[in-house]
Amino acid sequence: MYNRVLLKLSGEALKGANAYGIDPKTVNEIAKEITEIKDLGVEIAIVVGAGNLWRGKTGEELGMDRAQADYMGMLGTIMNALALQDALEAAGTATRVMTALPIAAVAEPYIRRRALRHLSKGRVIILAGGTGSPYFSTDTAAALRGAELDVNAILMAKNGVEGVYDKDPRKFSDALLLERLSHTRILEERLEVMDSTAASLCRENNIDILVFNMNKPGNMKKAVLKEKIGTVVTTEV
């Protein structure tokens, strides 16, 4: 079993069947699964995206400055983090939201030593605001925080996707699920797991990535227990 993990949640995972926004029922279900693995004694950090509230592509279509659009995305991750915190605490799990952008009225600033202290106290920490800088994705934020907090693995919880395929399964019926591959292959073949900056960080810091479908109940627990599920990305194959 992994002892300390970083769970990367896409913003789309929080919208449920809706076109956008936050679906309370979906968030509550996610919170229950996180609480279940927390009760196993696993230390959990979470990085959440904002694709359900704001996408950089929308900013591009509006002709916005890239940095401005990215800052809006960071604010979206904070909204998602607060919603997830509320659901987790309703489920009985002590939680702290920590942000890369200072927003003292609703969350703590991200300080590495304080984050480690929260984990040692058995609290789930939700790391919002990305890296705090534009031009970096929440995937990169997850890889960076994973390295800083010395996690055993990054759990990439995908919305309806079983793992990593050799080609797009939505376009090719003969696409094969890859059970195990290296960070280097992700970079060389540009497989859609995470962006190249994030993949490079994971390779340099020897952090395993487990990509799995979070829409199936119990998959999060299986991932933590290292059961055969999804795709494992590792330095050694």
Q: What is the pLDDT along the chain (237 residues), one digit of tens a residue?
A: 899 999 999 998 899 889 899 999 999 999 999 999 999 999 999 999 999 999 877 888 889 999 999 999 999 999 999 999 999 999 999 999 999 999 999 999 999 999 999 999 999 999 999 999 999 999 999 999 999 999 999 999 987 788 998 888 878 888 899 999 999 998 998 887 888 999 999 999 999 999 999 888 899 999 999 999 999 999 876
At residue 215, the pLDDT reads 86
- Separation between Cα atoms, residue 142 and residue 127, nearest integer Å: 9
What is residue 15's three-state secondary structure?
coil
Say if residue 182 carries a ligand binding annotation: no
Say if residue 58 carries a ligand binding annotation: no
Say if residue 190 carries a ligand binding annotation: no
At residue 24, the pLDDT reads 95
Say if residue 11 carries a ligand binding annotation: yes
Say if residue 130 carries a ligand binding annotation: no
Say if residue 16 carries a ligand binding annotation: no
Instruction: Residue 98: count other Cβ atoms within 10 Å of its Cβ.
Output: 21
Say if residue 134 carries a ligand binding annotation: yes
Closest CA to 236 of 180, 175, 152: 180
H helices of the chain, in order, are 24-38, 56-61, 66-90, 112-120, 138-148, 183-189, 196-204, 219-224
Say if residue 8 carries a ligand binding annotation: yes
At residue 70, the pLDDT reads 93
Say if residue 10 carries a ligand binding annotation: yes
- pTM for the complete prediction? 0.94
Exposed/middle/buried for residue 19 (C-beta within 10 Å: 0-12, 13-18, 19+): exposed
Say if residue 200 carries a ligand binding annotation: no
At residue 189, the pLDDT reads 87
Say if residue 139 carries a ligand binding annotation: no
CATH class of the domain comprising 4-234: alpha beta
Region of 154 (left: φ > 0; alpha: ψ -120 to 50; beta: rest) is beta
Say if residue 180 carries a ligand binding annotation: no
Say if residue 70 carries a ligand binding annotation: yes
At residue 237, the pLDDT reads 64
